[in-house]
Structure formats: C-alpha cells, structure tokens
C-alpha cells in the first residue's frame, strides 16, 4: 500500500481529500493490532499519521500509539554520490528520495510502543562482514540503511522493521544489490549480538525488496534469513507483490522468532491498482 508522493505535504493533502480511502478501508477491515507501513512519507509534526489514525478511528479501528522516525530517504549528504557532476540529486542522498522522508517507515499500534533501538544512522562500512567494495564512494559518510532500521518494542515482542533499497538501478558493480543484501544482514547480525544484547522475542518485519529465487537481487541473502533456525517462516512460498515488469514475487516478510507460536498467517488480496499485498501474522504472547 503506497502512501508516498512526489513532494512534501502532498500525502497529507491527498489524505484530507479522501484519496487514500481504499487504504484506510483495507486497514480497518484487517484491523491488525500493530501495523508497519514501509512506504509512507514522514513529516516532522506527525500530521500524516495523526490524520490517518483519525480516519481509522471513524471506522472503529483505533490506533492511539504511533512511531515515525526521520529516515535516510532524501537526507542530503552534500556529496556527489552518484558521480554525475551534480549535487543534491535524489541519488546523492543517504537513501534515494526526492525530499527528506519520502517513502519512510511508520508504525500504528493499538498497544503501547517503545523505540528500543534506531540503527538508521549506522555506516555501511561498520556492518560486520559487509558487502561494500573498497571503491564505493564516501565510506565515512554513506549509511547502510537506505530508509530506516528500527527496533520497536510492543509488549514482550521486539519488531525489527526495515525497507531495503531495490537491488536494481545500478551497474555491473551491483551497488544496490550488495546494499540490499546487507540491509537484511544487519538484522541477522543484530540477533548475533553484534550491537549489544539481542532481543528475547524478535520479529523481523518489512520489505526486503528481493524474492528468494525470482528477479534481481542477491537471493542467497534472503534465503539465509528464511533458513535461520532462530526464525520461523509462517508463509513459505507466498507472493506479496505483483509488478507489471516481473509478475508475482515475494518481497515483504514477517519472520517471528522460532519459539513464538503462530496461530494464523495470511497474505490479503491487494487493493485495486496497488501492487503490494498486506501480510498478516497472528502470534501467541510468549
């Protein structure tokens, strides 16, 4: 469900005009306790999430708890990262974006939320075992996260939310493919304890932007996560997006800790005109 626009303030405008009513209806119909949105524009005052929550409340779906952090999309570096001789372009930002916060990550919840850890500002070169090549520009500036990496506490669970860069739109150096794989690898290193005590009850949740076998990307990275004995895959083989160029693929994932009991899992039908499906997983509290 795409809640991103081509300029700041345009999403709020469209919400107020009622243009996102199908999205609101889908969220209200599914009514998850916690909803992670991976393509929603960030605004400093939180008006987008607040207005969205008001529309959902009018349909009986109440989300009083919300988190949105400014991510790396459109965040300027002041450098010519794409080496086109110009500064300030969307590919010169920490993560591709026409403006700061475009297509960010946000969480709506019926339950209290806590921001446990924000790894959005971690340098790519600081990831243990990273795939960055030495010739990649600005090692002291370039962050790993193209969007955001947020560890969010909800009850006993810790959601590990992210939205990786598409592993395309680059050259033979496969920069975006390598970065995409490392954005998922960050959470596996987090579970290894590379950044402190790992959470007791983690749930990986987000858009990895890569299928285990089809399309572009480093498929071995997502297969590593799916095969990790610490995690459970409640929806093996389920497609979560249908793009005109590639057809159906699996790019969005909810991977709870292996010891958590899953009582239900589904991929909902898409909203008309939207390529992405909502993915739902119901867990028993540990």
pLDDT tens digit sequence for 106-133: 999 999 999 999 999 999 999 999 999 9
Q: Is the pTM of this model over 0.85?
A: yes
**β-pair partners for 78:** none
The band of 1, judged by pLDDT with boundaries at 50, 70 and 90, is low
Rg for the chain, CA atoms, rounded: 18
Three-state helix/strand/coil letters over the chain? CCECCCCCCHHHHHHHHCCCHHHHHHHHHHCCCEEEEEEECCCCCCHHHHHHHHHHHCCCCCCCEEEECCCCECCECCCCCCCCCCCCCHHHECECCCCCCCCEEEEEECCCCEEEEECCCCEHHHCCCCCCCCCCCCCCCCECCCCCEEEEEECCEEEEEEECCCCCCCCCCCHHHHHHHHHHHHHHHHHHCECECCCCCEEEEEECCCCCCCCCCCHHHHHHHHHCCCECCCCCCCCCEEECCCEEECCEEEEEECCCCEEEEEECCCCCCCCECCEEEEECCC
139-187 confidence digits (pLDDT tens): 999 999 999 999 999 999 999 999 999 999 999 999 999 999 999 999 9
Extract the tokens encoding 144.
């790993």
Q: Measure the CA–CA gap between 110 and 97, rounded to whole angstroms.
A: 30
Extract the tokens encoding 254.
């909810």
User: CA of 215: how far to CAs of 1, 38, 124, 259, in Å?
Assistant: 21, 21, 24, 31
Q: What are phi and psi of 245, to 5 degrees?
A: -75, -30
227 Cβ neighbours under 8 A, 6+ residues apart: none
pLDDT at 207 over 80: yes
Q: Measure the CA–CA gap between 191 and 188, rounded to whole angstroms.
A: 5
Nearest CA to 154 among 57, 64, 261?
64
Domains of the chain, CATH where assigned: 10-283 (3.60.10.10)
Question: Rounded to 5 degrees, what angle do the CA atoms 85, 87, 93 make?
Answer: 120
49-96 confidence digits (pLDDT tens): 999 999 999 999 999 999 999 999 999 999 999 889 999 999 999 999
Determine the distance from the C-alpha atom of residue 155 to the mean position of all C-alpha atoms in its chain, rounded to a whole number: 21
């Amino acid at each position: 469900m795409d809640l991103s626009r081509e300029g700041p303030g345009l999403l709020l405008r469209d919400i107020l005009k009622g243009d996102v009513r199908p999205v609101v209806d889908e969220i209200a119909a599914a009514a998850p306790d916690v909803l992670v949105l991976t393509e929603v524009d960030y605004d400093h005052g939180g008006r987008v999430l607040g207005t969205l929550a008001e529309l959902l409340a009018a349909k009986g779906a109440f989300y009083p708890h919300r988190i949105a952090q400014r991510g790396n999309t459109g965040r300027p570096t002041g450098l010519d990262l794409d080496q086109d001789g110009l500064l300030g372009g969307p590919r010169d930002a920490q993560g591709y974006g026409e403006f700061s916060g475009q297509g960010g990550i946000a969480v709506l919840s019926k339950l209290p939320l806590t921001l446990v850890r924000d790894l959005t500002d971690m340098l790519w070169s600081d990831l243990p075992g990273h795939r960055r090549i030495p010739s990649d520009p600005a090692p002291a500036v370039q962050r790993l996260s193209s969007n955001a990496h947020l560890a969010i506490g909800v009850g006993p669970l810790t959601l590990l939310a992210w939205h990786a860069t598409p592993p395309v739109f680059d050259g033979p150096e496969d920069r975006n493919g390598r970065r995409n794989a490392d954005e998922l690898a960050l959470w596996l290193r987090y579970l290894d304890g590379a950044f402190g005590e790992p959470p007791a009850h983690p749930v990986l949740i987000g858009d990895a932007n890569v299928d285990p076998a089809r399309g572009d990307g480093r498929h071995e990275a997502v297969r590593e996560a799916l095969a990790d004995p610490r995690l459970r895959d409640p929806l093996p083989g389920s497609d979560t997006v249908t793009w005109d160029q590639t057809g159906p693929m699996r790019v969005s994932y909810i991977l709870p800790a292996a010891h958590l009991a899953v009582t239900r899992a589904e991929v909902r039908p898409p909203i008309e005109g939207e390529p992405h499906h909502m993915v739902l997983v119901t867990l028993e509290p540990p």
